[in-house]
A and B are shown apart, each in its own frame.
Chain A
Amino acid sequence: MTDPTPMLELRNVSRQFKVSRGLMKGSATLKAVDDVSLQLRRGEVLGLVGESGCGKTTLSRILLGLMPPSSGEVLVNGQPMSAADRKARARRIQPVFQDPYSSLNPRKTVSQIVSAPLEVHDVGAPADRARVVAETLDLVGLPRRVADSYPGQMSGGQRQRVAIARALVMRPEVVICDEPTSALDVSVQSQILNLLLDLQKELGLTYLLISHNLAVVEHLANRVAVMYLGRIVEVAEAASLFAGPRHPYAEALLASVLTPDPGMGVPDTQLGLAYPNPIDPPTGCAFHPRCRAATDLCAAKRPETLRDAAGLVECHLAAPAPLPA
């Protein structure tokens, strides 16, 4: 909390794609990310949740600098990202992807995979690199003897540890974890989550945790941003979001979490209709066709973004949070 400059900041960031409607039908514009302003604070774990197609992955690609925004600004440590070159950015921000089976090159050994960033950035002499790689393997709980193994010889959990080691070898400040445990078994998932927690404390890392597993988000995140059709519709402290979401969509998402309680049945989220087509978003509030509390106003007018002490919410029905006493 000493340095109030956010690690990463999105200012009115949008990203559009041209999508073909089919042969001879011309193209349409898909707003994958629509005027998003969001801060990633130093040392926090920010959870980003939403259904597939809501723009989570596009947002993470913009943050990683893998894709330029169509408009808006990305600030790294208060500096515009465009000013810093790609390499400088990659030193500070590293990804861990969902699938440790496809995100690691099967023809490279573990030590080659983990040292690749060092080579790309031309850090250290070869001997130093070997030492840094060995230290990083220790850090993520991999025995040093796996350094000469290939990903194909390893289990899913070990591979994800390799992916984490590759992300950490440059000692970045921010790690963007995109569904880091979705492809893993339950007992392996818990090991990776424990590891991510330890690393965060030990290295003072900042995480953006993208996940559709809300139980995982609740366990790791300090704050949570809820995304729907390219917009951030709610941001709140994790504890208060899970205790009482303000946006009806966040409420429905939380209701669909299946806790291991036998006899409780499957909750009816009341979301009814399927996720809308992002090429053809609904008028007004994009969530209104699925919202159980929608009024005529919601269909006609897009709600203003309400920013207050509790965070952010974008809903006609939300009242400002009372000021802290």
Chain B
Amino acid sequence: MSEAILKVEDLRVSIPVDAGTLNAVRGVSFEVKRGETLCIVGESGCGKSLTSLAIMGLLPRRARRDAAALSFDGQDLRGLSRRRLSRLRGDRMAMIFQEPMTSLNPAYTVGDQLMEALLTHRRVSRSEARARAIALLEQVGITAAERRLAQYPHQLSGGLRQRIMIAMALMCGPELIIADEPTTALDVTIQAQILHLLLELKREMGLALVLITHDLGVVARIADRVAVMYAGEVVETGTAAEIFSDPQHPYTRGLLSCIPVPGRTKPGEHLGSVPGVVPSLVGDFHECGFRDRCPLAREACARPVGLTPLGEGRAVRCVLAETAEEAA
């Protein structure tokens, strides 16, 4: 029951570049149980998208993936043949991409692309696949669903394409969905509707969801657990309640201070900020990756910092937590 459906241990993604090796993902570990939502939060370049592509086996060819463990429902994904992996992808595990225009095939109709997964993985007739496609389009808030099936991606708006991607991921009733910024481009009203749908699937079908986003509002509302990523590393993990009410890492605190919240931040006043830029990801870190931008940086930060466990599923990568741990 509480068995993890997805296990990721010490995942690393590196890309050879002129200046050396770009270590985009630096030893990321997490687990997701059935019916659980894990949100991976972070900003551009933190490695969150590459983490999801690495799990799905969809990294660009020149990127290298290493992991101590990477398994889906007990099945090791690392040594899986292309065919076995293709059998899983789109069926039991599905991905929703950030950029719908590059993930939809412009030469096929929406209907063909929606039905493809179901026809490939299941023994169903075309009319059954069609009926399911129409039902799902309606669930993601698309009107005149039947007419949409005959259209090509270029005939649709960005918001519609995004919702078609979501419907496509749901076609086979997957057990795990990895969604990379699935609602960022959508109106708040449609966003609420789609998050509702995902929460319903989670409750009723035990869907496990890995949601990658920088929208802290979305994270707070749908995450069971949160992993905050910075510069290729997980810097803090915890339940949504822990992360939002008791953030420990200076980066998490900085992020939370940046967002305007109606009723809480005072209109017209300065918002918090995280000054500076992300460090170069080429080579290894010889100091805490956040040191240059950290308001609390000190001597002790001048070496690589590991994760300090703070309790069940709770950890933070900060020297301040290490010293607090020693004092206790």
B140 to chain A, nearest CB (A): 9
User: Using a CB-CB cutoff of 8 Å, which residues 108-158 of chain A contact chain B?
Assistant: 155-156
Contact at B218–A258, with CB atoms within 8 Å? yes
* A53 partner residues in chain B, CB cutoff 8 A: 157
In the assembled complex, the Cα of A156 lies from the Cα of B187 at a distance in Å of: 22
Does B60 make an interface contact (CB < 8 A)? no
* B240 partner residues in chain A, CB cutoff 8 A: 262-263
Closest to B240 in A: A262
* B196 partner residues in chain A, CB cutoff 8 A: 266, 268
Contact at B267–A218, with CB atoms within 8 Å? yes
Contact at A260–B261, with CB atoms within 8 Å? yes
B96 to chain A, nearest CB (A): 17
Q: Assuming A194-B270, A258-B217, A262-B244, is B258 touching A189 (CB within 8 A)?
A: yes
Does A186 make an interface contact (CB < 8 A)? yes
Closest to A201 in B: B268
**Residue among B159, B189, B241 with max Cβ neighbours from chain A (10 Å):** B189
Closest to B243 in A: A262
Give the B interface residue count (CB, 8 A).
55
Contact at B267–A215, with CB atoms within 8 Å? no
Does B13 make an interface contact (CB < 8 A)? no
* B222 partner residues in chain A, CB cutoff 8 A: 265-266
Q: Assuming A197-B268, A219-B267, is B192 touching A261 (CB within 8 A)?
A: no
Closest to B188 in A: A256
Q: Mark B174-204, 1 if CB is under 8 A from A, else 0.
A: 0000000000000111111101100100000
**Residue among B188, B192, B244 with max Cβ neighbours from chain A (10 Å):** B188
Q: Mark B96-111, 1 if CB is under 8 A from A, else 0.
A: 0000000000000000
Q: Which of A260, A271, A274, A276 contacts B256 (CB 8 A)?
A: A260
| Number of A-B contacts defined by CB within 8 Å | 144
Does B259 make an interface contact (CB < 8 A)? yes
* B259 partner residues in chain A, CB cutoff 8 A: 186, 189-190, 215, 260
Closest to B270 in A: A194
Does B63 make an interface contact (CB < 8 A)? no
Contact at B262–A218, with CB atoms within 8 Å? yes
B157 to chain A, nearest CB (A): 7
* A155 partner residues in chain B, CB cutoff 8 A: 277
Does A52 make an interface contact (CB < 8 A)? yes
* B143 partner residues in chain A, CB cutoff 8 A: 273-274, 276-277
Contact at A262–B241, with CB atoms within 8 Å? yes
Closest to B217 in A: A258
Closest to B262 in A: A218
* A188 partner residues in chain B, CB cutoff 8 A: 43
* A265 partner residues in chain B, CB cutoff 8 A: 199, 221-222
In the assembled complex, the Cα of A200 lies from the Cα of B250 at a distance in Å of: 30
A174 to chain B, nearest CB (A): 19
Contact at B220–A260, with CB atoms within 8 Å? yes
Contact at A194–B273, with CB atoms within 8 Å? yes
A69 to chain B, nearest CB (A): 24
Closest to B293 in A: A187
Contact at A264–B221, with CB atoms within 8 Å? yes
* A220 partner residues in chain B, CB cutoff 8 A: 267-268
Contact at B272–A190, with CB atoms within 8 Å? yes
Q: Mark A246-287, 1 if CB is under 8 A from B, else 0.
A: 000000110011111111111111010111110000000000
User: Using a CB-CB cutoff of 8 Å, which residues 65-97 of chain A contact chain B?
Assistant: none
A262 to chain B, nearest CB (A): 4
Contact at A219–B265, with CB atoms within 8 Å? yes
In the assembled complex, the Cα of A85 lies from the Cα of B271 at a distance in Å of: 39
B292 to chain A, nearest CB (A): 14
In the assembled complex, the Cα of A187 lies from the Cα of B214 at a distance in Å of: 10
Does B141 make an interface contact (CB < 8 A)? yes
Q: Assuming A262-B221, A264-B221, is B261 touching A187 (CB within 8 A)?
A: no
Does A216 make an interface contact (CB < 8 A)? yes
A156 to chain B, nearest CB (A): 7
**Residue among A212, A261, A271 with max Cβ neighbours from chain B (10 Å):** A261
Closest to A219 in B: B260
* B70 partner residues in chain A, CB cutoff 8 A: none
**Residue among B240, B243, B257, B259 with max Cβ neighbours from chain A (10 Å):** B259
In the assembled complex, the Cα of A287 lies from the Cα of B96 at a distance in Å of: 31
Does A191 make an interface contact (CB < 8 A)? yes
In the assembled complex, the Cα of A186 lies from the Cα of B43 at a distance in Å of: 7
Q: Mark B225-267, 1 if CB is under 8 A from A, else 0.
A: 0000000000000011101110000000011111111111101
* A256 partner residues in chain B, CB cutoff 8 A: 188-189, 191-192
* A193 partner residues in chain B, CB cutoff 8 A: 260, 271
Spell out A's residues near B (CB within 8 Å): 51-53, 155-156, 185-191, 193-194, 197, 212-216, 218-221, 238-239, 242, 252-253, 256-269, 271, 273-277
Can you report 15 residue pairs joining A to B where beta carbons are below 8 Å apart? A51-B190, A52-B187, A186-B216, A187-B255, A190-B272, A216-B260, A220-B267, A257-B217, A258-B192, A258-B217, A259-B263, A260-B261, A262-B240, A263-B240, A264-B220
